[in-house]
Structure 1
Amino acid sequence: MSGSLVYDLPIGTLIRFSDHIPEPPADRQGDLAVWRLFNGIGRLARKDPPPHCSPLAHPASITIRTADFGERGAVGFTYALGEPSTAAMHFEVLEFPPVGSVRILARDGDNAELLHLGEDEGAAVAWLARHPVPTAIFDPVTADEIAAVSVEGGWSR
């Protein structure tokens, strides 16, 4: 699927992303590190619309985080949708956030960024106690949200 379709998915969706370039051999660490920037699995962590009042044309963008905030190696990759460099990217939905799970979001103005997806409210509270974030809010995943994306997007997962 294209990145523009990923933009319509719920925050917390687990996604595989790939640029279709074969993985380099393990003994070529530099090449392998670059390859991993464009090939992996992560959660949709942020969706930014194009700016409305900018004299410059900026596309919408998505951020996919490959590890939880606060963990070693927590990296987020931002893809500007509609840019020639991301046209070759392929995205695959692996799973939607489970109903009953709780997204911990950091607010940045009108935009929110996923910090962690707790399996339930108790797990979310425990995670936030270990990783205090002053701007964090809880956002439960509802059956209606997942049903809507499944029906509107034609998803069978």
Structure 2
Amino acid sequence: MTAPADVSPGDFRAVLGSYATGVTVVTTRAPDGEPVGLTVNSFTSVSLDPPLVLFCLDREAGSLPAFETADGFAVNILSADQAAVSNRFADPQAARFDGEGVADWSTGAPILADALAALDCTVHARHDGGDHIILVGRVRRLAVLSDDEPLIYWRGVYRKLG
């Protein structure tokens, strides 16, 4: 058996960048009730029965403590015209929720009013994922909120369908 070749982080990122993803903002509430959220494209479905989804969170993320202690989180799928929302939630210095209309569903995690779709989840499991933590959520409520097209991320830039 041949030993695996070394994989550089740059090469790994370049190859994975060839896989187009949707863009989400994942939200929760800190223990003091303050809304917490960040842009995430490492989101996927896991299971239909029970309905499970997951996302991966960098262990260096400032929002990690809130997600480590929260009982729930929401996944807000962004529409094609929400690149500015994605950029704001990706900026650690930004006032991420300023001017953002939100609703609270069953878990209390903020649902972005203008999102394309949303899933409200209770934490099902947390797993080690190397330099990330993998959060698995059980979907408790979900809705398509708009008929707009999704925001796509591919090779380091936002894209639109068509």
- The answer, yes or no, to whether TM exceeds 0.5 is no
Task: Report the TM-score, using the length of structure 1 for normalisation.
Answer: 0.28
User: Between Structure 1 and Structure 2, which shows a larger proportion of strand residues?
Assistant: 2
TM-score where L is the length of structure 2: 0.27
Structure scoring higher RCO (CA < 8 A, sep ≥ 6) equals: 2
* Structure with the larger helix share: 1
